[in-house]
Amino acid sequence: MKHLTLIIVALSMLATLVISCSSKKQDSVEQNGNNSKVLVCYFSATGTTEKAAKRIAELTGGKLHNIEPAELYTDADLDWRDSLSRSYVEMHNRTFRPALKDSVTDMSDYSVVFIGYPNWWNTHPTIINTFIEANDLKGKTIVPFMTSGGSNIINSEQELHEAYPTLNIAKGLLMNGVSDAEIKAWISGIGI
């Protein structure tokens, strides 16, 4: 009788273990559709896009990567009303390429690369061009996302398609005020 009780206890422990392992596997598949390896890159001057990037990383199981400029932007640099400010000067010469802190990022492990940024003058900051041109993104799915004071992502997406016609650029998302459900629907629409 004692042996029978021990066997029943052991079997129920084994069953619990098997069920918890299979539900963990199910979770990660749900988080990340077909299990593509995801890198969530972002440039954020004042922290808003960083928060958006963290939400995407959480929902996709992706790894975060901060696109850091060699020289951080100060408040004075970000004064869009001042035609002599750094951001104004950089953005009014679209061939300008601000230097990155890390000139190259190892992306060999990743098939999906999200790239997030704030809207500056109704498009992406030129450091995003520096980042795209410095790295080998061929064959990967590039997914833009943006935060803004109200402008949308459409013009930035169009400029990215025009500047990098050989890259596979998926539909982007303006992350202002979006719910987790909206982020999930966007991600699953892309087929990640």
Ligand X SMILES: Cc1cc2nc3c(=O)[nH]c(=O)nc-3n(C[C@H](O)[C@H](O)[C@H](O)COP(=O)(O)O)c2cc1C
Q: Rule CB under 6 A: is residue 148 a binding residue for ligand X? A: yes
Residue 116, strand partner residues: 42, 145
Strand-strand pairing, 63-66 and 112-118:
unpaired
150: tokens are: 């109200």
Q: Which is nearer to ligand X, 50 or 58 (CB)?
A: 50
Q: Rule CB under 6 A: is residue 111 a binding residue for ligand X? A: no
Q: In degrees, to the nearest 5, what angle opens at C-alpha 127 toward C-alphas 126 and 132?
A: 100
Q: Which is nearer to ligand X, 32 or 148 (CB)?
A: 148
The CB-of-112 to ligand X minimum distance in angstroms stands at 21
- Position among 118, 129, 170, 172 found at the interface with ligand X (CB under 6 A): 118
Q: Which is nearer to ligand X, 50 or 168 (CB)?
A: 50
CA distance 116 to 41: 6
Helix (H, G, I), strand (E, B) or coil at 38: strand
- Residues with Cβ within 8 Å of 79's Cβ and at least 6 positions away in sequence, in order, are 85, 87, 88
Q: Rule CB under 6 A: is residue 156 a binding residue for ligand X? A: no
Applying CB under 6 A, what is the total number of residues that bind ligand X? Answer: 20
Q: Rule CB under 6 A: is residue 147 a binding residue for ligand X? A: yes
Residue 91, strand partner residues: none
Q: Rule CB under 6 A: is residue 155 a binding residue for ligand X? A: no
The CB-of-120 to ligand X minimum distance in angstroms stands at 4
- Position among 58, 61, 121, 184 found at the interface with ligand X (CB under 6 A): 121
CA distance 13 to 184: 35
- Position among 139, 149, 165, 177 found at the interface with ligand X (CB under 6 A): 149
Cβ(98)–Cβ(78) below 8 Å: no
The site map against ligand X for 31-60 (x = CB under 6 A) is -------------xxxxxxx----------
- Position among 32, 60, 87, 135 found at the interface with ligand X (CB under 6 A): 87
Q: In degrees, to the nearest 5, what angle opens at C-alpha 148 toward C-alphas 103 and 161?
A: 55
Residues that bind ligand X (CB under 6 A): 44-50, 78, 80, 87, 118-122, 147-151
